[in-house]
Amino acid sequence: MSVNIRNMNSSTSISTCCPPLLQAVLQPDEAAQMAALFRVLGEPARLQLLNFIAAQSEGEACVCQLVEPLGLSQPTVSHHLKVLYEAGLLEKERRGTWIYYKLVPERIEALRNALAFPLQKRL
């Protein structure tokens, strides 16, 4: 493909390297929503929390289980869990005095899909 550009009295042809991008997986509003989720995950402790919870055989974890591996105080861990919950990445269930958290699979899948290669999406 070439584009003609007129500059003063001469005509110059410039070749483009690729065809224009005409398709995208994310629409602008979806991209804004995904960006907000990725900002939440921009805090290393929150990313670790999701990783710890996902790695549990039951697929859930209590705050009391997450304090020691992170090396943070219980109030700090609770704050990060609250942010993840409010972002829709975690569900929570109260059992007595403790709250158990588990991933929201659809939200995690949405993050994965936002970065997936087209070939991976078709499989």
DSSP string, 10-79: EEEEEE-SSPPP---SS-HHHHHHHHHHHHHTTSHHHHHHHHHHHHSTTSEEEHHHHHHHHT--HHHHHH
Is residue 45 assigned to a domain? yes
What CATH number has the domain bearing residue 116?
Answer: 1.10.10.10
Q: What Rg value do the Cα atoms of the chain yield, rounded?
A: 23
Query: What is the model's pLDDT at position 93?
Result: 96
Is residue 7 assigned to a domain? no
Query: What is the model's pLDDT at position 68?
Result: 94
Q: Which domain, by its residues, includes 100?
A: 25-122
Is residue 97 assigned to a domain? yes
> Largest Cα–Cα distance in the chain?
82
Query: What is the model's pLDDT at position 14?
Result: 58
User: Domain tally for the chain?
Assistant: 1
Query: What is the model's pLDDT at position 15?
Result: 58
Query: What is the model's pLDDT at position 18?
Result: 76
Is residue 8 assigned to a domain? no
Q: Residue 4: helix, strand or coil by DSSP? A: strand
DSSP secondary-structure letter at 89? S
Q: Which residue numbers in the chain have pLDDT < 50?
A: 1-2, 5, 120-123
Is residue 9 assigned to a domain? no
Is residue 13 assigned to a domain? no
What are the tens digits of pLDDT across the range 11-34? 555 556 776 665 666 788 888 998
Query: What is the model's pLDDT at position 36?
Result: 93
Tell me which residue of 40, 38, 42, 95 sits closest to 65, measured CA to CA: 95
Is residue 4 assigned to a domain? no
Query: Taking the model in full, what pTM does it have?
Result: 0.74
- Total Cβ atoms within 10 A of residue 13: 8
Is residue 50 assigned to a domain? yes
